[in-house]
Amino acid sequence: GQQVMQIPQYQHVQEGEDFTTYCNSSTTLSNIQWYKQRPGGHPVFLIQLVKSGEVKKQKRLTFQFGEAKKNSSLHITATQTTDVGTYFCAGERTTDSWGKLQFGAGTQVVVTP
């Protein structure tokens, strides 16, 4: 079954609003990555978090890695229509082979102008 859970599955956002998507793993992760997939496109790497409690920002996007390295979040402020797409978290488990990722099911984001 899915080892990495992502919520919510769908997110409808009014342009200009903020939202957060959450990612939870049943096992400790060595690192977590976030990807964005535009409709009809392929996943594109956004960022990687490695350290416990790490916070990274990319313009309007803020990524956090939990203290126990089992959960992560992506917060987007002042949503724009360019933020439309599906956001995936992907964790590399400490018990797994290097480079092998467990993907969450994704949060599909729809932005209403």
Partner 1 sequence: DAEITQSPRHKITETGRQVTLACHQTWNHNNMFWYRQDLGHGLRLIHYSYGVQDTNKGEVSDGYSVSRSNTEDLPLTLESAASSQTSVYFCASSVTGTGGEQYFGPGTRLTVT
- Contact set for partner 1, span 50-79 (CB under 8 A): 50
Minimum separation from the CB atom of position 31 to partner 1 (A): 5
Distance between CA atoms of residues 19 and 81, nearest Å: 13
Collapse the DSSP code of 81 into the 3-class scheme (helix H, G, I; strand E, B; otherwise coil) and give the result: helix
Q: Is 39 an interacting residue with respect to partner 1 (CB under 8 A)?
A: no
Q: Is 88 an interacting residue with respect to partner 1 (CB under 8 A)?
A: yes
Name the pairing type of β-strands 19-25 and 29-37.
unpaired
Which range, of 52-60, 64-72, 73-81, 89-97, touches partner 1 by CB under 8 A?
Answer: 89-97
The tokens for 28 are: 């400790």
Find the binder of partner 1 among 44, 55, 68, 110 (CB under 8 A). Answer: 44
Distance between CA atoms of residues 63 and 33, nearest Å: 10
